[in-house]
Amino acid sequence: MGNQPSTPKITDQDRAIFQLKQQRDKIKQHQRKLTIICNKQTELAKRAITNNQPQRAKFYLRCKKNQETTINKTFEQLDNLEKLIGTIEFKLIEKDVMYGLQQGNQVLKQLNNEMNVDKIDKIMDDLEEEKLKEEEISQTLGLGSGLSRVDEDAIEQEFVKLDREIHPSQESKVNKEDKVALPDAPTDRIMPNVPDTVKQEEEQRDKDGTKSPRTNEPIAL
């Protein structure tokens, strides 16, 4: 058998509102009857005037006037009933809202108690401890990142390549800094002349007391 829909619970407030609406509907029915009577009395007054019966016509008009006065009073009572029904229904809505706020406040307090700072710190500490245990186990078993040294070098090279593509200005700056700075030529002394011909080279050796290696003669001491 399927689940039967639960019967809504009828409260005392629901019964009170229902009774008020019943009274309102009865007043509306009474108004419609009085309106019909007024219209009929108007027709009777016209007929009496046609038959040259002024007193009878005035009687019908007086009855009509009394009925209209009653109708106006019922309108006032009907308006009061409508306001009372609206006020009760609004108060019931306010009651439901207050009940919902109370329930929500209790749930919020419960959640705040479950998620206080001390409990959160403890959870974070436990997570950190478990993470350290995992790293320790990985190190004990020799489990690293799963990449060899060659892979790490390839990654580093690719990173440098991408970095140069993204930051070309920084690359030129680094290249300038990597260049070896050569010393400047001395300005406080004269560099010796370098012979640019074979004759000058032989003359230089004669001055130094040596012979040219092409004569194969011994060096004079």
Cα separation, 119 vs 125, whole angstroms: 10
Q: What percent of the chain has pLDDT over 90?
A: 0
The better pLDDT of the pair 5, 105 is held by 105
Q: What value does the CA radius of gyration of the chain take, rounded to a whole number of Å?
A: 58
Contact predicate 188/180, CB 8 Å: no
Q: What is the pTM of this model?
A: 0.39
The beta-carbon contacts of 108-113 under 8 Å, at least 24 apart in sequence, are: none
Dihedral of CA atoms 113, 116, 120, 123 in degrees, nearest 10, equals: -40
Which has the closest alpha carbon to 198: 217, 183, 213?
Answer: 213
Q: What is the mean pLDDT of the segment spanning 98-124?
A: 83
Residues 6+ apart with CB under 8 A from 21: 85
Q: How is the chain split into domains, by residue range?
A: 12-114, 146-178
**Average pLDDT, whole number, for the chain?**
75
pLDDT at 221: 42
pLDDT at 126: 84
Confidence category of residue 1, pLDDT binned at 50, 70, 90:
very low
Which has the closest alpha carbon to 15: 99, 95, 88, 94?
Answer: 88
